[in-house]
Amino acid sequence: MARHYRTPVQPSSFLLQGIRHTSKSHGRRSVTTATALHCSQELLSESFTEVQAFRGWHLRGIAKWPKLEERVKEFVLNHRKAGIALSTKMIIIQAVKISKELQIQDFKGTASWCQRFMKRHELRMRTRTRIAQRMPEDYEEKIIHFHNFIIKQRKRQNFEIGQIGNMDEVPLTFDVPSNKTVEAKGAKTVTIKTSGHEKNRFTVVLAVTADGNKLPPLVIFKWKTFPKEKIPSGIQVHVHPKGWMDEEGMRLWIRNVWEKRQGALLKKPSLLVLDSFRSHLTEPTKKEFQMCKTEVAVIPGGLTSQLQPLDVSINKPFKAFMRQEWNKYMCDESQHESTSSGRMKRPGISKVCQWIKTSWDSVKEDIIIKSLKKCGISNALDGEEDELIYEDSSSESSSVQFEDIEDSSEDEEFVGFPDSDFCKLL
């Protein structure tokens, strides 16, 4: 026979006041009958006192691990003094590391602890304002037209899921500083240390297929000659005077990346979703796609935040991983090199390429699969997965809201804090 256990009820001051009132008016027997409690007023009072004492360190503003918090605070202040941006994840990672050094067994390093730690030590988060992309007036009609084209081509050519892809160019810089950092309360200026090359741009060409496969990145550096440094395996490199994708870059990408994907050697028909960047649409580029039996679906202008899977859900975690790699580099002075005048040199080409490879490898396969369905590209043709298009993407931890938000990728570095907790930097 199943047994039922009563959940223990914590006594409250309201309950005690009611018991005292009933006891004075009707006697203790009436109190017992009315409340159905098998304990005396004295036991409840004693229990209530214990509950008050057990209300936790954080409610009284007292640190449970004061030595740990002092060392974490020292870590924060030293890094901010050096101009290094700090996220709450970095604080938690450092706190867990220190707890092991201090042999603290019960420290978990949760987001709620980080919130209380920052409140106790008057630390705040600072951020820049963000700018959203404006949608075209007839965007609904353009989205429907795009989806109709995708469905028509899929029914006509019966593409395999692994032969449906998306490609996008992601602009990056040699410095990847966050727009947000933990800072002492009341600080009038918020500086973030870099190597001075945050305006030295290059382009990373990312591509995925609907079965979750990630194709090797192509990195386009802003040079006229090919770099002499050793490039890690799994990375393609191209140079351009402005660091952009051009017709030659597209030819290189198609032949060295797109035609090397699984199934390409068998000349299986494929579908590739691209934005309307001019180098994607030149006649030589179209001929290259025709030769490898690839149908191109061009995203209407202004709608990449709605229909570009990489832009919707994939670029964000990739940039967050890139920022983690850069932060590790900035925190490790042994990796820094200086010029003859003492200024920090930019990170080397091979190092940056390794960051890109590590970050791209870290992007999860399920994010890619869901993103293509979210954009209405690889959904089941019988309509069973159409609801995924209208699913709220904000519920997914790794997805991006349908706004092309500038530098929103660092949000994942700040755990447990709503946007309202950030002070705006004007």
pTM of the model: 0.60
DSSP class of residue 337 equals -
Q: Give the highest mean pLDDT range of 90-99, 323-332, 402-411.
A: 90-99
Between 243 and 294, residue with greater pLDDT: 294
- Residue spans of the domains in the chain: they are 13-55, 59-121, 139-328+349-389+399-414
What is the average pLDDT across 147-165? 95
C-alpha 357/C-alpha 217 separation (Å) is 8
Going by pLDDT thresholds of 50, 70 and 90, the confidence category of residue 391 is low
Between 17 and 6, residue with greater pLDDT: 17
Instruction: Please list the residues that pair with 338 across neighbouring strands.
Output: 344
Nearest to 214 by CA among 235, 230, 196: 235
C-alpha 119/C-alpha 71 separation (Å) is 16
Nearest to 236 by CA among 250, 256, 254, 222: 256
CB 393 within 8 A of CB 372: no
Structure tokens at 236: 């393609």
Going by pLDDT thresholds of 50, 70 and 90, the confidence category of residue 121 is confident
C-alpha 164/C-alpha 211 separation (Å) is 8
What is the average pLDDT across 291-317? 93
Q: Give the highest mean pLDDT range of 134-148, 288-302, 332-346.
A: 288-302
CB 310 within 8 A of CB 275: no
User: In 263-422, where does DSSP find H-type helix?
Assistant: 283-291, 304-307, 309, 315-331, 349-362, 365-374
Measured in whole angstroms, the distance separating CA 383 from the mean position of its chain's CA atoms is 30
Fold of 59-121: Arc Repressor Mutant, subunit A (1.10.10)
For the chain, give the mean pLDDT. Answer: 75
- Name residue 33's amino acid: T
Residue 259: Cβ within 10 Å count: 16
pLDDT digits 0-9 by tens, 174-215: 656 555 555 555 555 544 444 444 556 889 999 999 999 999
CB 179 within 8 A of CB 127: yes
pLDDT digits 0-9 by tens, 398-426: 333 323 323 334 444 444 444 434 333 33
Cβ burial 80-89 (10 Å sphere, 16+ → b, else e): beeebbbbbb
pLDDT at 295 (0 to 100) = 96
* CATH homologous superfamily for the domain 139-328+349-389+399-414: Ribonuclease H-like superfamily/Ribonuclease H (3.30.420.10)
Nearest to 21 by CA among 10, 9, 34: 34
DSSP class of residue 7 equals P
C-alpha 273/C-alpha 368 separation (Å) is 14
pLDDT at 124 (0 to 100) = 75
Give one word for 64, left, alpha or beta, with left for phi > 0 and alpha for psi -120 to 50.
alpha
The β-bridge relationship of strands 123-128 and 422-425 is parallel
CB 348 within 8 A of CB 211: no
pLDDT digits 0-9 by tens, 31-70: 444 444 444 555 545 554 444 444 454 444 688 899 999 9
C-alpha 389/C-alpha 301 separation (Å) is 19
